[in-house]
A = this chain, B = another copy of it.
Amino acid sequence: MNQKLPVPERLLAAAADLFARDGFDAVSVRQITSRAKANLGAITYHYGSKEALFHAVIDRVGAHLADRFVSIAAEKGAPLERIGRIVTMVLTEPNLPAPTMILRELAMDRPLPPPLVQMMQRNMGAVMGLIREGQADGSIRHGDPALFAMSVMAQPFLLRMVSRIPRDIAGIDRNDPETQRKLVKHVVTTITRSLAS
């Protein structure tokens, strides 16, 4: 890690790595400060608490994902085509901890971190906008845009984690580039077919 970064940035980066991989409960303050090469008290001093740092991480990775959604949604192309690009991005972007962190937080029975709610709002907004546009031009069938948006995101978010499943069960090896390409094509096709009029 770049020692030249100021301590708050190093803490954020270390926390992002560890929280993305292991989740809030399984990561300790000592692990984060050790990885960031900072003092044990640095988290409390700069962020106030472990939880506040966690929210800062969610804000950082969430904003990044939402930016990508909004950015692709604003590109040229048919609505379904742009939805396909968003789905491809979620499935193929290498450093993208947000989907896993979202799923993990959704699976916990505790209040969602506010930055996560904000990010989901932007993501849903971007996808719902595309769906409404497609419904207006007749390329997407009628239905509740919110439900459609949830369905669009379910597959890529979950199938990003397919590499976690033993190969002989998932039937695919996501570390194989050809299989990865096939998976992306499959997901995009499946989503496109379910939305098209």
Residues of B within 8 A of A159 (CB): 150-151, 154
Residues of B within 8 A of A108 (CB): 21-23, 26, 104
State how many copies of this chain the complex holds: 2
**27-62 of chain A: CB within 8 A of chain B:** none
Report Cα–Cα, A146/B150, bound state, in Å: 22
A124 within 8 A of B: yes
Residues of B within 8 A of A22 (CB): 108-110
Report Cα–Cα, A110/B157, bound state, in Å: 18
A172 within 8 A of B: yes
Q: If the complex has contacts A22-B109, A147-B183, A151-B155, are A121 and B194 also in contact, measured as CB distance less than 8 A?
A: no
Interface centre among A23, A143, A145 (most CB of B within 10 A): A23
Report Cα–Cα, A144/B23, bound state, in Å: 33
Report Cα–Cα, A190/B147, bound state, in Å: 10
**118-162 of chain A: CB within 8 A of chain B:** 120-121, 124, 128, 143-147, 149-151, 153-155, 157-159, 161-162
| Size bin of chain A's contact surface | 35 or more
Report Cα–Cα, A56/B191, bound state, in Å: 36
Report Cα–Cα, A117/B169, bound state, in Å: 8
Q: If the complex has contacts A150-B162, A150-B170, are A107 and B100 also in contact, measured as CB distance less than 8 A?
A: yes
Q: Which B residue sits closest to A117, measured CB to CB?
A: B166
Interface residues of A (CB under 8 A from B): 21-23, 25-26, 100-101, 103-104, 106-110, 112, 117, 120-121, 124, 128, 143-147, 149-151, 153-155, 157-159, 161-162, 164-166, 169-172, 182-183, 186-187, 189-191, 193-194
